[in-house]
């Protein structure tokens, strides 16, 4: 069975919190190289690791991981602001 590629926001979230790969790796219990693989989207994490990551960043799993390509967080925020302004 061929697995689907999972897209994620790990790099953006890590950089935004000013963490190094090693610091994040220590927090989620993997090797720093694995964080690199996750950030490059070369490796699909297990459900357990995905939940550990989401618990660490305090975001829902579906916010961090997706099966379709993700917009940058700033773009998402801009859309949200535009939507809220449109309602006013």
Partner 1 sequence: MKNLKFLSVINLAALLVMNIAFYFVFRGRVASHLYDGAGIASLVVVAVTFIPLFWKSGIWKLTHAKADKLDERELALTHWALSESYGWFAVICLVIMLAFSFIGKMNICPQYTISMPLVASLIYLSHVLPGVMIAWKYGVQKRSE
Residues forming the site for partner 1 (CB under 8 A) = 22, 29-34, 37, 43, 45-46, 48-49
C-beta of residue 35 within 8 angstroms of C-beta of residue 45: no
- To the nearest whole angstrom, how small is the minimum distance from the Cβ of residue 57 to partner 1? 18
Cβ at position 37, least distance to partner 1 in Å:
6
Q: Which residues contact 8 (CB under 8 A, 6 or more apart)?
A: 38, 39, 41, 64, 65, 66, 70
CA 9/CA 69 separation, integer angstroms:
10
Which residue, 4 or 86, has its beta carbon nearer to partner 1?
4
Q: Which is nearer to partner 1, 31 or 76 (CB)?
A: 31
């Amino acid at each position: 069975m061929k697995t689907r590629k999972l897209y994620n926001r790990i790099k953006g979230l890590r950089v935004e919190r000013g963490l190094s790969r090693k610091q994040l790796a220590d927090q989620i219990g993997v090797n720093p190289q694995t964080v690199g693989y996750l950030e490059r989207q070369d490796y699909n994490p297990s459900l357990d690791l995905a939940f550990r990551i989401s618990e660490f960043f305090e975001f829902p799993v579906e916010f961090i991981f997706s099966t379709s390509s993700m917009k940058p967080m700033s773009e998402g925020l801009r859309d949200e602001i535009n939507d809220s302004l449109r309602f006013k």
